[in-house]
Chains A and B, each alone.
Chain A
């Protein structure tokens, strides 16, 4: 092995410029692959984080996934049921305080009860359908980032400052043209009308929420729904958002209430990440494949130039596998050197890209979000090394299989 390494190193060292270009090709491929993976992963993480921070990790509502069984269905083997009318009033979660306490006993995180009421907001001749969420300001901070999302340095305690105080999303405020201090009208489908005073704005960064959500006190929500003591939703924030799906399933099993994790409510979006990742890996693979052509080129050139030496080595008794190994090792040297240089290049590119200032109506971030993870480096390095070895193997095999006699006869 020492001999193989020695000869391989001598060949590579003897062609500084060509080897340098081959290494630069691999390094560029690795560097840009890392940068791209970092950018894609960073934007994905940023988006996921925003989702996790904005929405409750689990929402337990007073709905059920399957309609309750009718008594007739229990008594008869077959029952045909007609004319069932759904309950107009939401039933709410039974014994909400006891239920919340039971969940708090084992769920790793915090729970906040709330009232969710669909309503229409009216202001300055504008009607917009929104969701009004009645919250407990003291517990809200435990389950959402709403306190941090408030604009103008206010806190959730502003909800106590006025009768029927309401905090609206800045998107909604812009849509209806309201501002803090404005009096707006809320109307429900059951005919309940309520005048409310805008006491603050929030900005979550998720357009659907900013344009269609408003927060009031629980009590106000109950008045709006015309149901005193109604709690129709528990919102949970877990210590580890990634276990939301499992915890939600267990809550649903225990309480029979519909329990939706943030992953479930954003299933389509998360599925689109898979497609994004496939695209990312395809592009990264293509970049590295192109880089491997450089390795193929240099190894082909070296084997061509060294045809006489190969013949001599074979005449001295070096086997085909030994000769082949020499050139595969040369390709590996190029691959390893290219990968290491690519790691440095990739890191610098990530830092440089992370400093780029952006202004986008679709993003809150003012800089491109980059993800720094060693897996990007390992993956790009492994693919670069693998493609270099494969690129080097073919010319190495051809060179090792050549007939030394033909070369020796021609080498005059």
Chain B
């Protein structure tokens, strides 16, 4: 049994047939002398096993929406639901627990902890969850890294790896607790075309072979066209939400 199957969220029963992630009239306004609206009135639902691209021009609110869906930020109004459970009113500890068990993040930059080895970085979410023994964590982290072609680099530090390798380690770390959803913010934005393609294939395999849901913010329209669904934002609002024929 995976950690997520054991306890998806701390406090509420799983809603039957509910979308995995749902946004209802989500608005996020940054306070200030001149308040800035990042996103407004977003309605969307993402189900299991979807491969979703969020696209749009710079400043359109793509990353803001991703952070709201990933419970890293709180909406000014509206609701974000994970498996039918409203999350905005949750205590911070429960939101952190939901991130730990339900969501995996991959950022444009790898954001690995520089003092820790590759293996230790991947083990970090597992250690925070604390459900596996130390030996089991090491085994699982080793297997994950092996499946991503990094089996020979487990004892290296992040600065000893190439950009593509680091990003794959970041993917492995995102998968450490077997979350059903991977949220990726420009995952190939800092990579060359070859490494970008490797990471894209990796994400697609997660959806097609492992049944995960991947939501990725991207500028790369070619990449977006190869995904199941494209949600396009302009000025913080959804302008198109299309399911694409090609898989």
Contact = CB atoms under 8 A, between A and B. Distances in A.
Interface of A: 2-3, 6-7, 10-11, 14, 308-309, 312-322, 403-405, 408-409, 411-412
21 contacts: A3-B124, A3-B127, A3-B130, A14-B115, A313-B124, A314-B72, A314-B99, A315-B72, A315-B99, A316-B99, A316-B124, A316-B125, A316-B173, A317-B100, A317-B101, A317-B129, A320-B96, A321-B93, A322-B128, A405-B64, A405-B72
A57 to B, nearest CB: 63
Interface string B97-122: 11111010101110101011000000
Contact of B113 (A312, A314, A321, A412): A312
Given A316-B99, A316-B105, A309 B73 contact: no
Interface residues of A, dominant DSSP:
helix
A411 B100 contact: no
B93 A3 contact: no
Nearest to A319: B96
Given A314-B72, A316-B173, A405-B64, 4 more contacts: A10-B115, A11-B115, A315-B99, A408-B111
Contacts, number: 72
A199 B127 CA distance: 86
Contacts of B167: none
B116 A10 contact: yes
B23 to A, nearest CB: 16
Contacts of A313: 113, 124
Contacts of A317: 96-101, 103, 125, 128-129, 177
A6 to B, nearest CB: 8
Given A10-B116, A404-B72, A409-B63, A315 B128 contact: no
Contacts of A318: 96, 100, 128
A221 B130 CA distance: 87
Interface string B206-237: 00000000000000000000000000000000
A97 B64 CA distance: 100
B128 to A, nearest CB: 5
Contacts of B177: 317
Contact of A2 (B97, B115, B127, B129): B127
A121 B107 CA distance: 98
A317 B126 CA distance: 10
Which of A7, A309, A405 has the most chain B CB atoms closer than 10 A to its own CB? A405
Contacts of B116: 10
A411 B109 contact: yes
Contacts of B124: 3, 313, 316
A228 B216 CA distance: 114
A322 B99 CA distance: 14
B70 interface: yes
A110 B53 CA distance: 98
Given A312-B113, A408-B107, A319 B173 contact: no
Nearest to B67: A405
B241 interface: no
Interface string B162-195: 0000000000010001000000010000000000
A7 B127 CA distance: 11
Interface string B66-90: 0100101100000000000000000
B92 interface: yes
A403 B93 CA distance: 14
Which of A2, A312, A403 has the most chain B CB atoms closer than 10 A to its own CB? A312
